[in-house]
């Protein structure tokens, strides 16, 4: 049963586990067992996925880690490099001064923030606060007394919102024919108005989110420009248009906000006069939309990643379900984890159902309770 | 380097309308443990995947083809053994 492949994932993973959780902009990975060459790859994949999902600031809690060998250190170093490259950083949370010392002896402490758990903390109260709540302003680097801290501080949403508020005010004042303006952003997987010139505009945006249609919804989702020249003759949004007209609005111009070419929201201009937005006004609105996009990009707040992060969390859960089903099959049929995967894969091929559904069926047949987002190696079921 | 007319994994990926990132996420979801960069190398045949990795990628692609109304066109490791 020895594999000739390049991915050994049998014995050494047996005792390794990762529990992922999210605190605001921070991703916390709690590690258990041993980090060695195999488990290091899992960890590397996690960190890479987190960085790609808009969580470049990662805390590794290694309180329950039994050992960290050279391969483990290498992956921690490479993870830190990835995260710093993505605009974040890696902080190690540990109750052991030994780990801090190891990182300090190697060059790693230049790259990685270290936190000692309460009780042996010598880093001062700021670092503790940083983990429980985002700090009140844009980040300052670690102070001179604690050179070990290089963690990136998440950007404060309030700062971004006030910058966008300024863009809205300028657009409202300078775009000809505009009676109101707003910025819609995708935040936490939903569309929300983060800046609006007045209450009517807020209500109008809310009507669009509630009906799931309207130029601002379309611009924010499709990343294209939408112009309703005259709502009186507008067939595209039948549920929303009457509500807008009831609020006295006759024309809407929504320009997409794009960060790294992905739609993250829209700048919306509203007018009480039909066909109010002429070519020059449309161009100007486009300029302000670019400004707002720049604010978002400069703040490093890639809001579109909310969606990706959600997708990533789903992937983690599915992965756990599949691993658990593999464990059940391994126990039942006394086979290895790859063979257990093949069993699931073949039934998925036969039934035409996705493998995750097959996995759910397998778990359902044992009435095993769901255990959150903890990812375990299937071997644990032999304990 | 065999001179086969069979599609490369990356050709399948393009037919499945998946980005490298999305395919990696699907591979990861199924339990894959190689990094996104390694998976990309497998797709371009710059690295040879283990049979298990090959199956994970093939299955991720096949599930995608089913979503698109197709069947399972991507061969698994056992199909490639002659």
Task: Tell me the per-residue pLDDT of A65-103, one tens digit each, with 9 for 90 and over.
Answer: 776 666 666 677 777 777 877 788 888 777 666 666 666
Both structure tokens of A232: 């009186």
Q: How many domains does chain A have?
A: 3
Cβ-Cβ contacts under 8 Å, B47 against chain A = 6
Within a domain: A336: yes
Query: Between chains, do B30 and A319 touch, taking CB under 8 Å as contact?
Result: yes
Q: Does the residue A3 lie in any domain?
A: no
The whole-number pLDDT of residue A93 equals 79
Residue with more model confidence, A130 or A37:
A37
Which of B25, B32, B62 is facing A312, going by the closest CB pair?
B25
Q: Which residues contact B63 (CB under 8 A, 6 or more apart)?
A: A348, A354, A355, B26
User: Average pLDDT, stretch B70-75?
Assistant: 90
Q: Does any CB of chain A come closer than 8 Å to the CB of residue B55?
A: yes
pLDDT at A348 over 90: yes
A6 in B contact zone (CB under 8 Å): yes
Residue A166 and residue A280 in one domain: yes
Residues A176 and A79 in one domain: no
Check if A354 contacts B (Cβ < 8 Å): yes
* Span of A24-28, A130-134, A149-153, B43-47 with lowest mean pLDDT: A149-153
Contact of B61 with chain A, judged by CB distance below 8 Å, is answered with no
Q: Are A71 and A36 in contact (CB under 8 A)?
A: yes
Contacts of B57 in chain A (CB under 8 A): none
pLDDT tens digits for range A20-57: 677 777 888 777 777 766 666 667 767 776 777 677 88
Same domain, A97 and A169: no
Residue B58's SS3 state is helix
A261/A345 same-domain check:
no
Same domain for A291 and A310? no
A188 C-beta neighbours (distance < 10 Å), count: 11
Are residue A108 and residue A199 in the same domain, yes or no? no
Q: Nearest CA to CA, how far is B67 from chain A (Å)?
A: 9
Q: Is residue A145 part of a domain?
A: no
Residue A206 backbone dihedrals phi, psi, to 5 degrees: -60, -40
Q: Quick one: A167 and A280 in the same domain?
A: yes
Give domain status of residue A281, yes or no.
Answer: yes
What's the pTM value of the predicted model, to 2 decimals? 0.40
Helix (H, G, I), strand (E, B) or coil at A64: strand
> Within a 10 A sphere around the Cβ of A50, how many other Cβ atoms?
24
* Residue where one domain finishes, among candidates A263, A298, A333: A298
B19 touches chain A (CB under 8 A): no
Interface check B69 vs A, CB under 8 A: no
Q: How far is B62 from chain A (nearest CA, A)?
A: 9
With H, G, I as helix, E, B as strand and everything else as coil, classify residue A89. strand
Q: Which domain holds residue A367?
A: 305-378
Which residues, listed in sequence order, are joined to residue A184 by a DSSP beta bridge?
Answer: A193, A266
Asked if the Cβ–Cβ distance from B33 to A41 is below 8 Å, we say: yes
Q: Does the beta-carbon distance from B52 to A349 stay under 8 Å?
A: no
Nearest to A60 by CA among A18, A29, A98, A97: A29
CB proximity B14 to A under 8 Å = no
Of A337, A342, A358, A373, which to mutate for an interface test with B (greatest number of B Cβ within 10 Å)?
A342
């Amino acid at each position: 049963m020895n594999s000739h492949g390049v991915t050994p994932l049998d014995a050494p993973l047996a005792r390794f586990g990762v529990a992922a959780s999210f605190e605001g902009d921070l991703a916390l990975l709690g590690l258990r067992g041993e980090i060695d060459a195999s488990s290091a790859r899992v960890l590397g994949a996690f960190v890479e996925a987190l960085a790609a999902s808009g969580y470049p600031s990662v805390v590794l809690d290694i309180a329950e880690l039994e050992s960290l060998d050279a391969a483990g250190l290498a992956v921690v170093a490479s993870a830190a490099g990835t995260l710093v490259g993505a605009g974040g950083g890696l902080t190690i949370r540990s109750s052991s001064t030994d780990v801090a010392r190891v990182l300090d002896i190697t060059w790693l402490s230049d790259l990685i923030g270290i936190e000692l758990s309460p009780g042996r903390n010598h880093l001062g109260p700021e670092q503790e606060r940083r983990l429980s709540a985002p700090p009140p302003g844009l980040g300052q680097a670690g102070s001179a007394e604690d050179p070990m801290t290089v963690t990136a501080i998440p950007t404060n949403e309030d700062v971004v919102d006030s910058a966008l508020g300024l863009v809205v005010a300028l657009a409202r004042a300078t775009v000809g024919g505009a009676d109101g303006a707003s910025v819609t952003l995708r935040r936490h997987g939903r569309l929300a108005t983060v800046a609006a010139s007045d209450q009517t505009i807020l209500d109008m945006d809310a009507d669009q989110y509630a009906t799931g249609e309207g130029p601002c919804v379309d611009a924010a989702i499709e990343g294209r420009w939408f112009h309703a020249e005259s709502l009186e003759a507008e067939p595209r949004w039948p549920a929303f248009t009457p509500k807008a007209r009831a609020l006295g609005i006759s024309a809407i111009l929504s320009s997409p906000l794009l960060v790294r070419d992905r739609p993250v929201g829209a700048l919306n201009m509203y007018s009480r006069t039909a066909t109010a937005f002429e070519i020059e006004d449309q161009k100007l609105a486009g300029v302000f939309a670019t400004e707002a996009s720049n604010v978002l990009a400069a703040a490093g707040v890639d809001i579109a990643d909310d969606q990706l992060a959600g997708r990533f969390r789903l992937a983690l859960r599915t992965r756990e379900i599949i691993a658990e089903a593999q464990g059940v099959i391994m126990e039942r049929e006394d086979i290895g984890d790859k063979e257990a995967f093949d069993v699931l894969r073949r039934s998925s091929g036969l039934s035409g159902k996705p493998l995750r559904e097959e996995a759910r069926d397998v778990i359902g047949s044992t009435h095993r309770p769901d255990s959150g987002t903890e990812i375990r190696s299937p071997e644990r079921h032999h304990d | 380097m065999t001179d086969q007319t069979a599609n490369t994994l990356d050709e399948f990926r393009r037919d499945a309308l998946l980005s490298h990132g999305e395919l990696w996420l699907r591979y990861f979801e199924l339990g894959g443990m190689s990094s996104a960069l390694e998976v990309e190398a497998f797709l371009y045949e710059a690295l040879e995947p283990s049979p298990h990795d090959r199956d994970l990628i093939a299955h991720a692609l096949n599930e995608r083809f089913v979503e698109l109304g197709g069947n399972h066109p991507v061969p698994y490791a056992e199909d490639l053994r002659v």
